[in-house]
A and B are shown apart, each in its own frame.
Chain A
């Protein structure tokens, strides 16, 4: 067992503020970390958070809006984001676009509001569109912060993120050699959502020092979806003598971007995001998503895929039947589970996960 001390979001916010940094509360999913860092802004992501009382948001939102957005709005309305200096809402899906509009038109927060329009599909035009969008955000941030960092400094931040992405990929590849439970592994991985890059890097490097040569003799699972919340799902998998060998989750692997090629920093960030791993919110094709998930299973010893879908997340639902069929043809079993990040895991869900693991173990 490896024990890693990871500071909490609250501790990080307090420490970074004491150093004079601004804090940006960032809603899911894709955004340019490096662009905020170059303005001395620390992004702290808001994935719900889980177990939030959503009664305040319910008054503003339709009942079919997912629990990530409901919790995210309630969290703001309850005053938990009063401490931050900016609110960043990427246009990831209709619900998040709606959240951006609710902030802009009705709530009118005292903090600076930054919206990001993300293009879909991988092509040159979309890289160009996003690069221009990033330039617009650069101007907005320079007005807020009162300075204009040069391209060289921005490129430095980009290269730092690129190095960290490589390190995260190494961390994934070492998963089977690490003495970590699935909960511990994802607690480390998800600390990137709020830690400064140097701190996150040192935690990963420390964990990697403990990689052993012997591999975990457990049943590997690919976990796909938005986020592993409630984290009890990871314990249920581990309790079955299985583990999450790798993931296709929006908060994790889908944001491990490759290196950009352009010498223009805005284009380079755009390349990284647009050409990143397939993601339902980016409208990638069925084939791209299937090939990606299959490649994850091939890279590890994973025997099956669990689609752990936040209820009402339409972009995810759209792909499920086709992906399930394609995976089945490739002899990869899959299970679709629906969850709400504010509710405990129902017994039916636990039974289904356990039965799925029994099934794939029996057939392999």
Chain B
């Protein structure tokens, strides 16, 4: 039975991520699930199951994310610090980390030695977040995985002027009712989202390389458009969703 030295729990607004590391910081397991309203019970259930396969007797637990207050942990750290730690340790370089989550975006400037220099988050608004795409996908009855594919294969693009998750939805419907092609509208929707993220990046100051985390980093259309807008190919971890939890677990190692 392997010994888990530290566990990072990222209780986000839409998903729960749990990562366990050994004393060298190597990932032993990672779990990603849709977040339950009772995230504390969900977490406990997952940890109890993991105990069947791992020695977690002396594991430190570090929690982050909006639900972290509900979770029993040795330490609670903000998502900014955890994502910066996770991304820095994964890529071993400073630069600009962009986390595009379900309901918020974070842009974090990381120094050469892994410290947070500055950051920005979207405030009280889901503009440009994963929810922005999800809302429209749901309204159009298109699976999320198909959204990126449609945008990538589109030969045209309709300008979506609203970055508000609610207003963009009605703008999309209005474009479609005027006969615009679905893939052109979907591509425009991705562009509006990327422009919002790009503006956040420039607000805090872009310092290459660009490193992505969060569930939306899996969307190839978003990644391609970020490259087009910034002129810099983004670096993406193998599992971008767990970077916050990974960072939290690494912080636990130093406790």
Chain A interface residues (CB < 8 Å from chain B)? 333, 338, 346-349, 351-352, 354-355, 358-359, 362-363
Contact = CB atoms under 8 A, between A and B. Distances in A.
Contacts of B104: 348
Nearest to A351: B78
A107 to B, nearest CB: 32
State the 6 A-B residue pairs at the shortest beta-carbon distance, nearest first: A355-B80, A355-B78, A359-B116, A358-B81, A354-B78, A348-B123
Contact of A348 (B81, B115, B117, B121): B121
B132 interface: no
Nearest to A361: B81
Given A338-B123, A346-B123, A346-B124, A351 B79 contact: yes
Interface string B78-93: 1111000000000000
What is the predominant secondary structure among interface residues of chain A facing chain B?
helix
B80 A359 contact: yes
B116 A358 contact: yes
Contacts of A359: 80-81, 115-119
Contacts of A333: 118
Contacts of A346: 123-124
B119 A355 contact: yes
Interface string B104-140: 1000000000011111011110000000000000000
16 contacts: A333-B118, A348-B121, A348-B123, A351-B78, A351-B79, A352-B80, A352-B119, A354-B78, A355-B78, A355-B80, A355-B121, A358-B81, A358-B116, A359-B117, A359-B118, A363-B117
Given A354-B78, A355-B79, A362 B123 contact: no
Contacts of B122: 348
B81 A363 contact: no
A279 B193 CA distance: 38
Contact of B81 (A338, A347, A362): A362
Most A CB within 10 A of own CB, among B79, B115, B117, B123: B123
Contacts, number: 46
Contacts of B77: 358
Contacts of A349: 123
Contact residues on B (Cβ < 8 Å of other chain), bracket:
10 to 19
B66 interface: yes
Most A CB within 10 A of own CB, among B78, B121, B123: B78
Contacts of A358: 77-78, 80-81, 116
Contacts of A363: 115-117
Interface string B154-165: 000000000000
A354 B66 CA distance: 12
Given A338-B123, A352-B121, A363-B115, A347 B80 contact: no
Nearest to B103: A348
Given A346-B123, A346-B124, A348-B124, A362 B78 contact: no
B94 to A, nearest CB: 13
Most B CB within 10 A of own CB, among A346, A359, A363: A359
B214 to A, nearest CB: 15
A351 B124 CA distance: 12
A89 to B, nearest CB: 30
Nearest to B77: A358
A347 B122 CA distance: 12
Most B CB within 10 A of own CB, among A349, A354, A355: A355
A338 B122 CA distance: 12
A249 B124 CA distance: 24
Nearest to A337: B123
A352 B120 CA distance: 8
Most B CB within 10 A of own CB, among A349, A351, A352: A351
B20 to A, nearest CB: 23
Nearest to B122: A348
A354 B122 CA distance: 15
Interface string B52-95: 00000000000000100000000001111100000000000000
A346 B13 CA distance: 14
Contacts of A355: 78-81, 116, 119, 121
B73 to A, nearest CB: 14
Contacts of B115: 359, 362-363
A351 B80 contact: yes
B77 to A, nearest CB: 7
Given A358-B81, A362-B115, 13 more contacts: A338-B123, A348-B124, A351-B66, A351-B78, A351-B80, A352-B119, A358-B77, A358-B80, A359-B80, A359-B81, A359-B116, A359-B117, A362-B81
